[in-house]
Amino acid sequence: MIIRVHELPVRKRYPLRISRGTSAGSDNLLVEVEHDGVVGLGEMAPYSGGAVAQTPELARESLAAWAPRLEGLAPWEMQAVEAALDEVGGGVAARAALDLALYDWVGKRLGAPVYRMLGCDPARIVPTTVTIGILPPEVVRERVPEILARTGARALKVKLGSPDGLEADRAMYSAVREVAPPEIPVRVDANGGWTVDGARSMMAWLAERAVEFVEQPLAKGAEADLPAVARGRPIPIYVDESCSVARDVPQLAGVVDGVNLKLMKAGGIREGLRLIHVARAHGLKVMIGCMGETSLSIAGGVALSALADELDLDSHLNLLPDPFEGLRMVDGRLLPSEAPGLGVRRAQPGEEEANR
Amino acid sequence: MIIRVHELPVRKRYPLRISRGTSAGSDNLLVEVEHDGVVGLGEMAPYSGGAVAQTPELARESLAAWAPRLEGLAPWEMQAVEAALDEVGGGVAARAALDLALYDWVGKRLGAPVYRMLGCDPARIVPTTVTIGILPPEVVRERVPEILARTGARALKVKLGSPDGLEADRAMYSAVREVAPPEIPVRVDANGGWTVDGARSMMAWLAERAVEFVEQPLAKGAEADLPAVARGRPIPIYVDESCSVARDVPQLAGVVDGVNLKLMKAGGIREGLRLIHVARAHGLKVMIGCMGETSLSIAGGVALSALADELDLDSHLNLLPDPFEGLRMVDGRLLPSEAPGLGVRRAQPGEEEANR
């Protein structure tokens, strides 16, 4: 197979502020895998907060290092590809982009959407949340109704863990619940911005205010303190930054209630499936989330989404414009395309304009 | 999809004696799944020793109960099929037969061998063992050279746990090692026929006699005693009867070294993959084994076999005749066919004769 890498810069409609900082956009990469006249597409979205910052530079270096090892392989030879990548080493987000391109290629070659190749049942796809970044209450009151109306989403994820402290978190959450219709479920994500005491206090407070659950209360690396937060918890706890690959799951079982799978952390669909299977064997719930991805990578998450209990696949809805199209939002549920592979294509210029 | 069930009686060339009894053949079932002009084939092989005896009668009842629920589904809708089966309940070996037929159908429909659909790398397939049932030493001395020569296998699995006691086990093992060329690796399977003390004693004895590892030293249900056998073990321990599905794996981690996946215990390829993923996340080794199956079900194990550390896929080599063909034994390694789906077909009458 031949691998080509292209720039895929994306700009956010609304900058996203979380506990660790603010993002107004990112230099994503588009990865093309060509073999036997068929081209598969994948995407890398940069992020920090893991063990190694997944920068576009690291991704380009990784893909360049892998390319000569992959020349003699066909895209369906995924086990051999994984073995080559393990030997060479490299960035996990680049690995995800390559994995997505391989699945897209195989689906296009076989004439089947990836979700079908995985045997997934779209009827089981639950509504996705859209994310409200850390904002002052007065902005929340305008932003929440606009986002719900524009995206068609029917569930919210609220970023807490504000550097301004728990008072700011409480003010923001109250503003969200004030303007969100009561039938809209709301969950919160602290992105590791709380202490043990802060987490216990916020979880007790949130439990009385119609929250579904909390995500990543403590920072990555503070997993030893999770039992202190989890003991007698009034609401379920999911972890995100604390869980990237299947091997991270066993030590979290019995401590938390669920894990947030992101393809950019796991390294793609193949490891994503493994993570889901391990979580299930331990009785853990599974959420599928995303980084700052276009519809292309999001389509990879959607291909798996029937296997998840909770979905937070919304980053493409906050892009100006989303350079890909093909996914559909129906009654708040993000559904896969019936086109082969990941089922997305470059957005037409006119449609991009219309999305602005 | 439409489901049809046919008798598939098989007769063993050599009756197989294990700790729990002797089998000279079995009333297997052939399951056909027809949809959209394509027919997928799967097989059920009966067995006892699990929580529920997997009889042909139970399998027929299960398939009959599932059929109306599956009429409106296509074979690729595997998640929906699993949900329907979970709701109705039924035999796990019948479930495996159906799962195999679904994978065969999807592969045939897409024009791809199942091993490719799973991204498996045939170069990673290790040699398979052939099994030597419990036999008197004088028979062992004739049988082992004949079996190695006829099958082309280059590794042996020896059934111990004889009802005649440890002395009989030692005599049989010694006879095997006496006639097997020294380069042939030998492992043993007690099928739960030992006590804790017997297991510890036999493992110490075997460790000095070039054994690879032991399988299922204690009976299913005696898992609480496994740590007493495993403490300071001189050779690795795999479990078979103690581990059927992915959810059985976590409690075995840290106690044993590996698990034996059999599609008839797991319910097919889909659960088999989950079991492998969970075992890997826990650092456990994986063997893929079989019940008294023809090449048809064995081909399902072969489709996954590149993911395993050890293989014991040999039951078809002891049939008179094997009603299916398509697998190849090359240098002791059982390789998949390149034909779509599971890649096997009904053996031609002349070839059946030739196999007698």
Q: What is the ipTM of this complex?
A: 0.93
Residue B65 pLDDT exceeds 70: yes
Around Cβ B144, how many Cβ atoms within 10 Å? 24
Residue from A82, A110, A245, A304 whose CB has the most chain B CBs within 10 Å, to mutate: A110
Write down the pLDDT at residue A355: 46
Closest CA to A270 of A98, A108, A49, A34: A98
Q: How far is it, in rounded angstroms, from Cα A330 to Cα A336?
A: 11
* Ramachandran bin of B283, using left for φ above 0, alpha for ψ from -120 to 50, beta for the remaining angles: left
Q: Which two tokens mark A11?
A: 């700009």
Tokens standing for B39?
């027919």
Q: How far is CA B150 from CA A20, B13, B154, B311, B355, in A?
A: 66, 12, 11, 18, 10
Give A116's contacts in chain B (Cβ within 8 Å). 76
A183 CB-side CA count, 13 A? 5
A121 contacts B77? CB cut-off 8 A: yes
Q: Which of A121, A244, A270 to mutate to test the interface with B (most CBs of B within 10 A)?
A: A121
Contacts 24+ apart (CB under 8 A), A78-81: A78/A102, A78/A270, A78/B119, A79/B119, A79/B120, A79/B121, A79/B124, A79/B306, A79/B307, A80/B121, A80/B123
Structure tokens at B308: 């395993």
User: Any idea which residue has 């690796």 for tokens?
Assistant: B185
> Which residues of B fall below an 8 Å CB-CB distance to A?
76-80, 83, 110-112, 116-117, 119-121, 123-124, 246-247, 249-250, 253, 270, 273-274, 277-278, 280-282, 306-307
Q: Do B112 and A111 touch (CB under 8 A)?
A: no
Q: Residue B331, SS3?
A: coil
In a 10 Å sphere around its CB, with 0-12 CB exposed, 13-18 middle and 19+ buried, how is residue B231 labelled?
A: exposed
Instruction: Please give the residue of chain A at the shortest CA–CA distance from B284.
Output: A247
CA angle B321, B325, B328 (to 5 degrees): 115
pLDDT range class, residue B354, cuts 50, 70, 90: very low
The whole-angstrom separation of Cα B230 and Cα B232 is 6
* Strands laid side by side in the A38-44 sheet: A2-18, A21-35, A38-44
Residue B351: its pLDDT value, please?
Answer: 54
The alpha-carbon gap from A30 to the nearest alpha carbon of chain B, in Å, equals 23
Residues with Cβ within 8 Å of residue B106, at least 6 apart in sequence: B40, B75, B76, B114, B117, B341
Smallest CA-to-CA distance from B238 within B175, B311, B173 is with: B311
* Nearest CB to B77; choose among A83, A119, A249: A119
Among the listed residues B268, B262, B325, the one whose alpha carbon sits nearest the alpha carbon of residue B292: B262
Q: How many CB atoms lie within 10 A of CB A93?
A: 32
Residue that is written with structure tokens 């006879």 in the block = B175
Give every residue of chain A whose pLDDT is below 70, as ranges.
350-356
Which residue in the block uniquely carries the two structure tokens 């070039």? Answer: B210
Chain A positions touching B307 (Cβ under 8 A) are 79
Distance separating alpha carbons of residues A163 and A194, to the nearest angstrom: 9
Q: CA torsion sign, B256 to B258 to B261 to B267?
A: positive
CA pair distance A215, A156, nearest whole angstrom: 13
* Amino acid at position B8, single letter: L
**Do B6 and B75 form a contact (C-beta atoms < 8 A)?**
no
> Is the four-CA dihedral B95, B96, B100, B101 of positive or negative sign?
negative
Question: Over the stretch B222-267, which tens digit does the pLDDT of each residue have?
Answer: 999 999 999 999 999 999 999 999 999 999 999 999 999 999 999 9
- Which of the 8 DSSP states describes residue B317? G
Instruction: Report the amino acid identity of residue B328.
Output: R
**Average pLDDT over chain B, rounded to whole?**
96
Contact A193, A167 (CB under 8 A): no
Chain A residues touching residue B76 (CB < 8 angstroms): 112, 116-117, 119
Which pTM was predicted? Answer: 0.95
Contact B277 A273 (CB under 8 A): yes
For B164-178, the pLDDT digits (tens) are 999 999 999 999 999
* The predicted structure's pLDDT at residue A50: 85
Distance CA B70, CA B59 (A): 16
- For A217, the token pair is 């209360």
Out of A80, A121, A277, closest to residue B79 by CB: A121
Which one-letter DSSP state was computed for residue B348? P
Determine the distance in angstroms separating the CA of B245 from the nearest CA of chain A, rounded to an integer: 9
pLDDT in tens, B10-45: 999 999 999 999 999 999 999 999 999 999 999 999
* Per-residue confidence band for B355, with pLDDT thresholds at 50, 70 and 90: very low
Q: Which residue of B has its CA nearest to A75?
A: B119
**Residue recorded with tokens 């920068």:** A55
pLDDT at site A351: 53
Query: In which element (H, E) is residue A85 found?
Result: helix A78-88
pLDDT per position as a tens digit, A265-298: 999 999 999 999 999 999 999 999 999 999 999 9
pLDDT at B50: 85
Which residues of chain A are at the B interface, by a Cβ-Cβ cutoff of 8 Å?
A: 76-80, 83, 110-112, 116-117, 119-121, 123-124, 246-247, 249-250, 253, 270, 273-274, 277-278, 280-282, 306-307
Give backbone dihedrals phi and psi of B128, rounded to 5 degrees, phi first: -95, 150
Query: A76–B274: do the CB atoms touch at under 8 Å?
Result: no
Instruction: Record the tokens describing residue B294, joined without a space.
Output: 């023809």
Q: Which of A63, A43, A29, A40 is nearest to A117 (CA)?
A: A40
**How much is the pLDDT for A281?**
98
Can you read off the two tokens belonging to residue A42? 């994948």
| Structural contact between residues A129 and A158, judged by C-beta atoms closer than 8 angstroms | no
Query: Closest Cα to residue A131, out of A336, A291, A277?
Result: A291
Instruction: Give the C-alpha separation, B18 to B240, whole Å.
Output: 14
- Residue that is written with structure tokens 């119609």 in the block: A210
